[in-house]
Chains A and B, each alone.
Chain A
Amino acid sequence: MIASMAGALPTEFVMTQISYAAVLPMLLVFGGAMIGVLIEAFAPRRFRHEAQVTLTLLTLVAALVAIATSARDHQGITAAGAVVIDGPALIFQGVIVALAAVGVLAMAERFTADEADAFTQSGAAVPGSPREAAAVRLGATSTEVFPLTLFAVAGMMLFPASADLLVMFVALEVLSLPLYILSGLARRRRLLSQEASLKYFLLGAFSSAFFLFGAALIYGYAGSLELSDIATAVQNQSGMDGLLIPGVLLVVVGLLFKVGAAPFHAWTPDVYQGAPSPVTGFMAAGTKVAAFGALLRVLYVAFEGVRWDWMPILWGVAILTMVVGAVLSVTQTDMKRLLAYSSIAHAGFILVGVLALNQKGVSSTLFYLVAYGFMTIAAFAIVALVRSSGNEATHLSQWAGLGKRSPIVAGVFAFLLLAFTGIPLTSGFTAKFAVFAAAVAGGGTWLVIVGIICSGITAFVYIRIIVLMYFSEPAGDTMVMTPTVMSTLCISLGTLVTLWLGIIPSPLLDLASQSTLFLR
């Protein structure tokens, strides 16, 4: 056995060829994050916010341009089979960067103050301690959030583009670690935020361990961690299913954790509630896109040959996710928790698209992710604006009569809720239609029936909020902060994309269906 392994080793050292043009977008984002860290270290405090926001947005725009130009012209598997830049990878990266740019706009909101409004001025200090008071007096800032966001974005970009389970694991960590910190940095209700951060970290560590253990089992089975080699082994090798099937399931469980699918959803409501609202929006959108991208690649490229072993289990997960998300969102009284359960339900709907296992499955999943991402970032940006006695007014009763107090904000939020429901002329309708159509074509009629029932249940939840905003009397001291240009831009972009994808969905649908071919 040892002799055969020695024979397989290459006799001469071969330098890895990296197509820098193909990975340029990721390098740009990593580089931007590095410069952000240097700004954090050397720039004077009063310039940091402007410098960081400008740098972050420029980096993201540059990355988007690089994806559309240099990376698109240099598709292929590169970096010694570690990174694959193909149609799906490119479009997922583009979506992640675009969503991140919109999310950063919401994070940069500072109203009339000197520093970002959503973030604490001293994340390391004990809440309410003299050290925290001193930091506030000295005008400390939390501009680290911008480089951290860029690091997370870089990890998210690598996640769906990794052609190797180990690279995928590294990407998973690179995208998760900054998010753990970001979710603990809320300025208000800091204990809740820190609790969210800790819970997210612990459960994230569990899911990483699941993923890694699964990858180890698959290595034992296939003798390689590269997705294409695993696919070949699955096709040609018989026996050793005792390693393969648990390996597949553990890897998938690790990914489903990140997606927030039931029964691995328990962290979602707590983390979404505790994290600063703009971060929640960014996290909900970006992580979902990245994790579904990785899930699609793993299932479609590596494990397609054993689909009959994992399909029934994922069917169960999809049904459970939709039902748990829909039913539990009915009982929620907190706006952010409600949106968290809604995100679980949406993860279930997206899984229905993933399980179609055809080209339509890829394109409809992608369309749904874009639609969900933009509406969710805008919704959380609005949640950050609604205040009651200095805090975010997250209890549903505090939203009563918002339509009378500030008709524009309530109107936009109502529109986003209709999009969450999936009413025609919003992107939500097209997205749901696309995934359900793909699922029917892929033989998942039962999934679609459950999906439509769950859609009906969630519709009740969203319509109830609209009724609450428009048909009940205002109570308490709820008020809406006047957004500056940053939030306004973020909410408008999110809403306009939602409207645009509802009325003219074909450009994105065409783009998505042209880029469904995974390179193996």
Chain B
Amino acid sequence: MLSPYLVVGGVVLVGVLLFVAAMGARRLIAPSAPTPAKESTYECGVDPVGEGWAQTNVRYFLYAFLYVIFAVDAVYLFPWATVIRSSDLALASLAEVGIFVGVLLIGLAHAWRHGLLRWL
């Protein structure tokens, strides 16, 4: 009864083993001659500046939020596009998607009026 899960578990296990085998083989075969330049973080040929832990501008989270809202929005719009031409669903689905997008637009209007779309 749980056998499908056993297969899934087996596949996961084999995957982990493959990874470990590949990395282990590389470790055994590859030559190792470290220098300070080789040990440093690779940043496209530019010398790394500062530590690995750095502050980033938190202002981007608003854009991330708005992006998520509209990405989810788009996911629902695609299936709608396939039924918008059918005669029995057209009007009802138009109204429903209108409500759905309208709710999202209310959120966007609020964000806009509170100046969240303005870059400081």
Question: Which residues of chain A have a CB within 8 Å of any CB of chain B?
Answer: 1, 13, 15, 34, 37-38, 40-42, 239-240, 242
Contacts and interface: CB of A to CB of B under 8 A. Distances in A.
Contacts of B38: none
B80 to A, nearest CB: 12
Interface of B: 1-2, 4, 83, 89, 92, 103, 106-107, 109-110, 112-114
Nearest to A1: B4
A34 B103 contact: yes
A41 B113 contact: yes
A13 B89 CA distance: 10
Given A1-B4, A239-B1, A15 B109 contact: no
Given A239-B1, A240-B1, A42 B89 contact: no
Contact of A37 (B4, B89, B92, B107): B107
Rank and list the top 10 A-B pairs by shortest CB-CB distance, nearest first.
A41-B113, A41-B110, A37-B110, A41-B109, A37-B106, A34-B106, A240-B1, A40-B110, A239-B1, A38-B106
Determine chain B's interface SS by DSSP, over half rule.
helix
Contact of B114 (A13, A41, A242): A41
Nearest to B4: A1
Contacts of A13: 83
Contacts of A15: 89, 92
A42 B2 contact: no
Contacts of B2: 240, 242
Nearest to B5: A220
A118 B110 CA distance: 23
A41 B108 CA distance: 10
A103 B112 CA distance: 30
Contacts of B114: 41
25 contacts: A1-B4, A13-B83, A15-B92, A34-B103, A34-B106, A37-B106, A37-B107, A37-B109, A37-B110, A38-B109, A38-B110, A40-B110, A40-B113, A41-B106, A41-B109, A41-B110, A41-B112, A41-B113, A41-B114, A42-B109, A42-B113, A239-B1, A240-B1, A240-B2, A242-B2
A42 B4 CA distance: 56
Contacts of A42: 109, 113
Nearest to A39: B110
B116 to A, nearest CB: 10
Given A37-B107, A240-B1, 18 more contacts: A1-B4, A13-B83, A15-B89, A15-B92, A34-B103, A34-B106, A37-B109, A37-B110, A38-B106, A38-B109, A40-B110, A40-B113, A41-B106, A41-B110, A41-B112, A41-B113, A42-B113, A242-B2
A40 B110 CA distance: 7
Contacts of A40: 110, 113
A242 B1 CA distance: 11
Nearest to A41: B113
Contacts of B109: 37-38, 41-42
Nearest to B107: A37
A37 B113 CA distance: 11
Contacts of B1: 239-240
Nearest to B114: A41
A150 B98 CA distance: 22
A15 B88 CA distance: 10
Contacts of A239: 1
A350 B113 CA distance: 45
Nearest to A40: B110
A240 B109 CA distance: 50
Contacts of A41: 106, 109-110, 112-114
A230 to B, nearest CB: 18
Nearest to B93: A15
Contacts of A1: 4
B35 to A, nearest CB: 44
A1 B2 CA distance: 13
Contacts of B89: 15
A223 to B, nearest CB: 13
A26 B26 CA distance: 61
B76 to A, nearest CB: 15
B5 to A, nearest CB: 9
Contacts of B112: 41
A219 to B, nearest CB: 13
A239 B106 CA distance: 49
